[in-house]
Amino acid sequence: MSGWWVIGINYLIGSLPFGVIIGWLLRGIDIRKYGSGNIGATNVSRVLGFTPALLAGIADALKGFLGAYLATRFIQNPFLWFLAVFMIVIGHNWSVFLRFKGGKGVATTVGILFYLSYQAAIISFLSWIGMVLISRYSSLGSLTGALLMPIGLYLFNKPPEIIWWGIFACALVFLRHSENIKRLVSGKEHKIGKKGRE
């Protein structure tokens, strides 16, 4: 399979809006019209509860895992591999099925990271849990986990293209959380368990 085909397929895989699909199937609602309006697991939890949120998070992570597998299986060129893996998260964040809008890509990024290095994924995941338990800010946990991704990949001696993916993925998570960062700095970010925007 051509590397460019994999890049296109990965974008479509990433574009699958599982949070929206689960909202339609379980409650007949558009999750984007409730809570924070985000399609990710945090907003699904806020609107539909823990189990649907868990399903959405796992589904988003699995599409990242699958896309990383396809890129690694069919692409030898490091640059095309990088594009193919990066396009999974691009698809999630700017989905063709949602008029090029989407989520923040955290769960999908975790799925990719788990395929590339389960050790680095565990470090990021545990740091996310720890920060959320300490601060009760989901966004701060996501930012902490993202920051540790490229560090973990470097520590576990991954190839340059994988480390660069970690750097760009981290930057993209921070970009998609720009409003959260502003609210964290101003003290207006909402904590888990309180109603408000994600």
pLDDT bin (cut points 50, 70, 90) of residue 194 is: low
The tokens for 23 are 């909202």
Instruction: Please count the residues of the chain.
Output: 198
Q: Report the percentage of the chain scoring pLDDT > 70.
A: 97
* Region class of 68: left (phi > 0), else alpha (psi between -120 and 50), else beta: alpha
What pLDDT, on the 0 to 100 scale, is given for residue 36? Answer: 84
Q: What is the pTM of this model?
A: 0.92
The answer to whether 67 and 112 are in contact (CB under 8 A) is yes
DSSP alpha helix (H) spans, 75-159: 78-93, 106-116, 118-135, 138-155
pLDDT digits (tens, 9 = 90+) for 76-92: 999 999 999 999 999 99
DSSP 155-186: HTT--HHHHHHHHHHHHHHHHHTHHHHHHHHH
Task: Round to the nearest angstrom and report the end-to-end CA distance of the chain.
Answer: 39
Say yes or no to pLDDT of 192 above 90: no
The tokens for 2 are 């051509």
The answer to whether 112 and 85 are in contact (CB under 8 A) is yes
Other beta carbons within 10 angstroms of residue 69's beta carbon come to: 12
What pLDDT, on the 0 to 100 scale, is given for residue 2? Answer: 85
